[in-house]
Amino acid sequence: MKKLKPIPQFKNEDAERKFWAAHDSTDYVDWSKAKRVRFPNLKPSLRTISIRLPEHLIGDLKALANKRDIPYQALLKQFLAERVEREWRQNAAA
């Protein structure tokens, strides 16, 4: 069995995220001993931001959201998530 490296202490989530993006977890964790768990009440971390948008864009967004019967902020998050995912896929393929 391979000797595992100790997992460092992190100052914050950003530091931890940066670390795991650059390191292979199999050097630090024995995944053969992992157990599947569920977190049914876990909610993603949210951060409030301010963004200035043209009035007509907000109106169009509200109209589209109304057709789908969802809040316009939810539709905006969905649009952003889809576009970010597409950009990541395009960059990975390049």
Q: What is the pLDDT of residue 94?
A: 74
Structure tokens at 20: 């795991």
d(CA 40, CA 7): 27
Distances in Å between the Cα of 61 and the Cα atoms of 1, 49, 54, 80, 91 are 55, 18, 11, 12, 27
Rounded to 5°, the CA angle 35-17-73 comes to: 95
pTM over 0.75: no
For residue range 33-69, list pLDDT tens digits in order.
999 998 888 888 888 999 999 999 999 999 999 999 9
Distance separating the N- and C-terminal Cα atoms of the chain: 37
The percentage of residues in the chain with a pLDDT greater than 90, rounded to a whole number, is: 81
For residue range 11-20, list pLDDT tens digits in order.
999 999 999 9
Cα dihedral sign, 10-11-16-22? negative
Q: What is the pLDDT of residue 1?
A: 66
Please determine, for residue 78, whether its predicted confidence score (pLDDT) is greater than 90.
Answer: yes
Q: What is the pLDDT of residue 62?
A: 97
